[in-house]
C-alpha cells in the first residue's frame, strides 16, 4: 500500500538518544525556487510513498525544507573519523540532515537523509551545499550498485536550483534525498572513544543492536558477537566490490557503514583496463585507497572501530573478531569469482584458474567487465574452438594455456555450455557506471538542462546483467576522451 506524503509513518529513533549524538535543526531551503531533476519510483515504492505524490507542490516544499514535513524530526548526526589515516576529532553531517525514518507496510525501516541542505554545526568552513555534479554521481551509482546486488544506500530524487555553489568553480546547487536502513558509521563510535565518553559508546552500541541486530540482544557476549558480524559484513562487502571492479576512492572511517553498506559516493570509479593499482581519486596522491588496497584498508578501518569498542570488550576479544576478516574476505571473494567463471565448486583448481585469468587480463590491459562477460561464450570440449575469445588477448599462447586449464576443469564437471553461459551472464554485468557515462549525463544536465540521460542510465543500470538492445552503446569500451576524466573528493 502506498501513502501520501503526509501519511508516511515517520519516526526518529535516533532522535530519542541523548542530545550528545546530534544537533536538531531544520534544512535551509534554496535561495531560488527548486525543481525536480530526477525521481526514482522504485525507491518511492520501497519506502511506501505513492510515486504520484511527486506531482504535488508539497513534494518539493517538504523535501527542501520550505515547509516542515509532517512527522519528521530533522537532525544532523555527530561523528568523527580517520581521514586518509589521520584522526579528525569532529566531523558529523556537515551538509546532510536526517529527516527521520519511515516504515513501509512490510515493517522495514528506512532513514530519509537530505544531502546539500545547508550549514549544520558540523560544517566547519563548508557551505553545507551539494552540487549537481556530485548528486548525479551518487544518485546513479547507488542505483547501479543495487542493481549489481551490492549492499548500498539508495536515493529517492535529485532536486536542483539556480543557487550557485563554489567548488573548484561555480556550479549549480542541488539536493539529494538518500535512503538507507541506518547512517551510523564507524566514526560514530570513534568520536566518543577519543573523548573518553565510554558511556555514550555503550548507549550507541545498544541502540544499533536493538534496531539492526535484535537477534543479539540476549547473547551472553553481544558486543563481541556484534563486532564479529560487522567484520563479516564488511569483508563480504569488500569482496563484492573487488569482484565487480568497484573502487570507492575515499574509504575513511566516517564513510564506513556499521551495517556493511556502500556509503558516501564521491570520487568512485569502476575498473576499465584491469589495473589492480587503479586510483580513482585524483586527491589520493599516495594511493592509499587504490583498488588493490581496499581489502587492507577495510581491515584497518575495522581495527579503528574495534579500538573504539574496547570499553565494551577486552582487547583480546576485539582482536579475535578482527582475525576472522581475512579468511571471510578471501573465501567470499574466490567464491564469487568462481561463480563468475561458471565453476561449480571452490577449490584449489578454481583459485588457480581465477588468478591466472586476472594475471593475463592485467598483462594485456584488457577491459575487466567486458572480458568477464565475454567468457560466457567459452566452449568446452576436446575439439572446442575459442578463437574469437582468443583474439581478445595479445598473448595468444598464454591464453591457450589458460584455456586448456579452464577447459580441463569444465570437462571434469561435465559442464553444459548453454547452462554455464546463462549462469555466468547472471554474475557478470554487461553494464556498469563507467565514469564517461556519468560525465555525459552531467554535461547534458549542466550545459543544456537536459536530464533525460540521468533517467535513461538509471533504467539501464537497474538490470546490469540483462541483454538490453536499446542500451547496447553503454556496453562498449570507453572512448579515448574518457581517459582525461578526473574526479576528486569534491566529486
List residues with catalytic annotation.
254
Residues 465 and 373: beta-carbon distance below 8 Å: no
Q: Are strands 96-103 and 109-115 parallel, antiparallel or unpaired?
A: antiparallel
Rounded to whole angstroms, how far apart are CA atoms 8 and 10?
Answer: 6
Q: Quick check: helix, strand or coil at residue 237?
A: helix
Supply the DSSP string of 83-119, one letter for each residue: ETTEEES----SSEEEEEEEE-TT--EEEEEEES---
Joined grid coordinates for residue 117: 541542505
Rounded to whole angstroms, how far apart are CA atoms 170 and 420?
Answer: 51
Q: Quick check: helix, strand or coil at residue 179?
A: strand
Torsion of CA 231, 233, 234, 235, to 10 degrees: 80
Supply the DSSP string of 61-75, one letter for each residue: HHHHTSSPPTT---E
Rounded to whole angstroms, how far apart are CA atoms 128 and 37?
Answer: 20
| First-last CA distance in the chain | 37
Amino acid at each position: 500500500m502506498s501513502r501520501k506524503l503526509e501519511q508516511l509513518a515517520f519516526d526518529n529513533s535516533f532522535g530519542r538518544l541523548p542530545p550528545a549524538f546530534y544537533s536538531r535543526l531544520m534544512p535551509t531551503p534554496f535561495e531560488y525556487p527548486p525543481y525536480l531533476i530526477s525521481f526514482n519510483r522504485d525507491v518511492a515504492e520501497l519506502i511506501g510513498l505513492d510515486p504520484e505524490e511527486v506531482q504535488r507542490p508539497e513534494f518539493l516544499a517538504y523535501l527542501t525544507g520550505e515547509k516542515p514535513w509532517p512527522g519528521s524530526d530533522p537532525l544532523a548526526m555527530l561523528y568523527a573519523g580517520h581521514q586518509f589515516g589521520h584522526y579528525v576529532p569532529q566531523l558529523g553531517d556537515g551538509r546532510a540532515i536526517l529527516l527521520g525514518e519511515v516504515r513501509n507496510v512490510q515493517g522495514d525501516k528506512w532513514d530519509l537523509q537530505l544531502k546539500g541542505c545547508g550549514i549544520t554545526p558540523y560544517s566547519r568552513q563548508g557551505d553545507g551545499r551539494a552540487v549537481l555534479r556530485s548528486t548525479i554521481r551518487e544518485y546513479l551509482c547507488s542505483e547501479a550498485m543495487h542493481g549489481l546486488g551490492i549492499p548500498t544506500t539508495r536515493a529517492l530524487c535529485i532536486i536542483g536550483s539556480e543557487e550557485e555553489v563554489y567548488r573548484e568553480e561555480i556550479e549549480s546547487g542541488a539536493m539529494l534525498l538518500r535512503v538507507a536502513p541506518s547512517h551510523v558509521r564507524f566514526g560514530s563510535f570513534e568520536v566518543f572513544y577519543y573523548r573518553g565518553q565510554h558511556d555514550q559508546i555503550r548507549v550507541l552500541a545498544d541502540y544499533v543492536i536493538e534496531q539492526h541486530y535484535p537477534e543479539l540482544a540476549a547473547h551472553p557476549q553481544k558486543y563481541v558477537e556484534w563486532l564479529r558480524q560487522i567484520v563479516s559484513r564488511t569483508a563480504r562487502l569488500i569482496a563484492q566490490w573487488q569482484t565487480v571492479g568497484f573502487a570507492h576512492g575515499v574509504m575513511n572511517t566516517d564513510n564506513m557503514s556499521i551495517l556493511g553498506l556502500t556509503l558516501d559516493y564521491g570520487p568512485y570509479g569502476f575498473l576499465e583496463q584491469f589495473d589492480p593499482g587503479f586510483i580513482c581519486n585524483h586527491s589520493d596522491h599516495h594511493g592509499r585507497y587504490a583498488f588493490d588496497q581496499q581489502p587492507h584498508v577495510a581491515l584497518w578501518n575495522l581495527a579503528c572501530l574495534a579500538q573504539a569498542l574496547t570499553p565494551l570488550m577486552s582487547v583480546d576479544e576485539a582482536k579475535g573478531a578482527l582475525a576472522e576478516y581475512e579468511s571471510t574476505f578471501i573465501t567470499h571473494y574466490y567464491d564469487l569469482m568462481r561463480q563468475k567463471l561458471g565453476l561449480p565448486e571452490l577449490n584449489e583448481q578454481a583459485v588457480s584458474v581465477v588468478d591466472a585469468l586476472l594475471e593475463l587480463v592485467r598483462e594485456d590491459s584488457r577491459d575487466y567487465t567486458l572480458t568477464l562477460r565475454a567468457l560466457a561464450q567459452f566452449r568446452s570440449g576436446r575439439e572446442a574452438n575459442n578463437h574469437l575469445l582468443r583474439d581478445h588477448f595479445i598473448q595468444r599462447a598464454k591464453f591457450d594455456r589458460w584455456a586448456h586449464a579452464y577447459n580441463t576443469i569444465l570437462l571434469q564437471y561435465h559442464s553444459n555450455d548453454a547452462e554455464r553461459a546463462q549462469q555466468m551472464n547472471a554474475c557478470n554485468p554487461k553494464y556498469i557506471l563507467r565514469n564517461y557515462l556519468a560525465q555525459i549525463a552531467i554535461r547534458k544536465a549542466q550545459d543544456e538542462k537536459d536530464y533525460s540521460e540521468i533517467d535513461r542510465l538509471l533504467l539501464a543500470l537497474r538490470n546490469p546483467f540483462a541483454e538490453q538492445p536499446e542500451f547496447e552503446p553503454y556496453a562498449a569500451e570507453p572512448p579515448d576522451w574518457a581517459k582525461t576524466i578526473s574526479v576528486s573528493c569534491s566529486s
